[in-house]
Amino acid sequence: MSEKQETLIMNGQSLAFRTGQTLLEVAEAHGIPIPTLCHLKGTSPTGACRVCVVEVEGARTLLPACSTPAAAHMVVQTESRRVVAARRTILELLLASGNHNCAVPSEENGDWTEFQLRVQAADQTDDLCPAWGDCKLQELAYAYQARSDRYPRTAKAGLPPELANPMIVRDFSRCILCGRCVQACNEVQVNRAISYGYRGADSKIVAAGDRPLADSDCVFCGECIQACPVGALVEKKARYTWRPWKDHKIRTTCPYCGVGCQQWLHVQDGRIVKVSGVEDAEPNRGRLCVKGRFGYDFIYSEERLKTPLIREGDDFREASWEEALDLVATRFKAVMDTHGPDAIAGVSCARSINEDSYQMQKLFRAAIGTNNIDHCART
């Protein structure tokens, strides 16, 4: 059954939409930009940030485009003076809610230097925010000329970062409570490790009754980092190292298993400094597991094996691939000649790609002549 098409008026244009679409989806489908902060594609809208508000004729208040269903004959303005003023106020309140030390204050504010020094002391660095240049709030603050000193700073600016976790730094002082991390954890990865905690000015994203992620059900997939629009969740290894203007992105396939997740290697000065998932690409659509996202250090390990080793007594010596493979083939042959091919069995990696699994069984069935072939998931 085809979906019903209706029309509405947005910024003076008549636009077609399907029933069930939100105003944000209609705008996106027709190339009209509406800023968002809390909206996470593919999850249920929360309407938490209100930065996507639009003016709808006849409505008493401005409405969030991400959670307002489109209706026939609606008349919508996405950048009216009222909308722009509301967005600027929302952004200024968000900037005042934490250690947002990237934003430029007005000239008359004498506290700015003191604020910067306090944030740098809390962050234990002389650098500005680790998300500088890659932050949705910063981008929108510039776009809407939002000042960071219009409202008094809230108590959240004093919260220390959580450095106790192995791979992730949580910086509560920069969290804008958009909830994207909660949706990413609960609705996308379905790990349910984090949720909203406390109330009012004390609101905070918490894990396991407000304990570090390391003491919770968190599996360190890092999906929440990828969803966070600001500098509140960052990779521990890349914090203050990775900078977008130095970034060289290389697309590749995760080397760990046969799922074949698509990932970006973020390379600086010839070294991988972080890994992220490729959004809108199959099969993972931006998602990665802990190994794919964080397990790249072995590349630079001094102990990494780069050549085959042949055991001689209690020791190993380096060998060429030709020598090592010849040795294996000779030993296989000797076992087959003495005891028959069924004396040999093969166990392949269940996470190998289909092609490798096929080659493995072909080697055992056709070349060696045994059906003793299995994979590790059944051992």
Indicate the pairing of strand 271-277 with strand 309-312.
Answer: unpaired
DSSP state of 371: -
Tell the smallest beta-carbon distance from residue 106 to ligand FES (Å). Answer: 27
What is residue 318's three-state secondary structure?
Answer: strand
Does residue 179 interact with ligand SF4 by CB under 6 A?
yes
Q: Pick the closer one to ligand FES by CB: 49 or 238.
A: 49
User: Which option in ligand SF4, ligand FES, none does residue 26 bind, with CB closer than 5 to 8 A by kind?
Assistant: none
- Tell me which stretch binds ligand SF4 (CB under 6 A): 10-18, 154-162, 230-238, 240-248: 230-238
> CB of 253: closest distance to ligand SF4 in angstroms?
21
Contact set for ligand SF4, span 119-148 (CB under 6 A): 129, 131-132, 135, 137-138
Shortest reach from residue 230's CB to ligand SF4, in Å:
4
List 157, 205, 254, 289, residue binding ligand SF4 (CB under 6 A): 205
Tokens 């508000």 belong to which residue? Answer: 53
Site size toward ligand SF4, by CB under 6 A: 39
Using rule CB under 6 A, residue 221 touches ligand SF4: yes
Question: What tokens appear for 283 in the block?
Answer: 């099969």
Residue 300's Cβ-count burial label (10 Å; 0-12, 13-18, 19+) is: exposed
Cα three-residue angle 32-42-231, rounded to 5 degrees: 80
Q: Which residue has the tokens 């962050």?
A: 123
Neighbours of 102 (CB within 10 A): 20
Give the integer Cα–Cα distance in Å for 28 and 21: 11
What is the full DSSP assignment across 57-116? Answer: TT-SS-EETTTSBP-TT-EEESS-HHHHHHHHHHHHHHHHTTT-TTS---TT-TTHHHHH
- The entry of ligand SF4, ligand FES, none that residue 175 binds, CB within 5 to 8 Å by partner kind: ligand SF4
**Binding segment for ligand SF4 among 58-66, 216-224, 278-286, 323-331 (CB under 6 A)?**
216-224
Site for ligand FES in 46-105 (CB under 6 A): 47-52, 64, 66
254 binds, among ligand SF4, ligand FES, none (CB under 5 to 8 A by kind): none
3-state secondary structure of 50: coil
Element (H, E) at 224: helix 223-227
Q: Is residue 40 involved in binding ligand FES (CB under 6 A)?
A: no
274 binds ligand SF4 (CB under 6 A): no
Contact 91, 37 (CB under 8 A): no
- Considering the rule CB under 6 A, would residue 151 count as an interface residue with ligand SF4? no
> Distance (Å, rounded) from C-alpha 34 to C-alpha 54?
9
Given a contact cutoff of 8 angstroms between Cβ atoms, the answer to whether 227 and 279 are in contact is no
Contacting residues toward ligand SF4, per CB under 6 A? 100-103, 129, 131-132, 135, 137-138, 174-181, 184-185, 189, 191, 193-194, 205, 213, 218-224, 227-228, 230-233
Contacting residues toward ligand FES, per CB under 6 A? 36-39, 47-52, 64, 66
